[in-house]
Amino acid sequence: MTSSDQIMHSLERFGALCADPAPLIYQRLFAQHPEFEDLFAMDSDGGVRGSMLTTCFECIIGLAEGSQLPRFELQSARLSHQGYGVPEARLDDMFTIIRDTCRDTLAGEWTPAMDTAWAEILSEIASMNHAPA
């Protein structure tokens, strides 16, 4: 199984085991970065959180599939989040939190190959910091 296959398989299993991962992911995000919770004060219906999470999953899947589009999406997100006081590198934390939540949910199904594939994709995301368009 390729790294791309490992990412996709882990996300498919995650989806099968957790119909709505948003509460788990945002609980972890706010535990690690309590200052971010205030940024969602007006998101009373969870729509902003859901939209952001969808974009994150689309970026992960796009990168796993070899698309260049996530590079531009991430650059745009980094710029727009600076206006909220979110440093570029903190944006990457969301992807690590997604990986960690996926890993914890899969528990015994999580493999060393998945761990390696996720480490590679997280490294790729981090390397996009300050990248020219």
- Looking at residue 34, what is its pLDDT? 92
Compute the CA torsion angle 30, 34, 40, 45 (nearest 10 deg).
40
Helix 88-106 × helix 69-82 angle, to 10°: 120
Return the pLDDT at 26: 93
For the entire predicted model, the pTM comes to 0.90
Predicted local confidence at residue 95, as pLDDT: 94
Over the chain (133 residues), the average pLDDT of each successive run of 10 is 93 95 95 89 88 92 91 82 76 93 97 97 84 45
The answer to whether the CB of 25 falls within 8 A of the CB of 101 is yes
- Scored b (16 or more CB within 10 A) or e, 54-68 reads ebbbebbebbbeeee
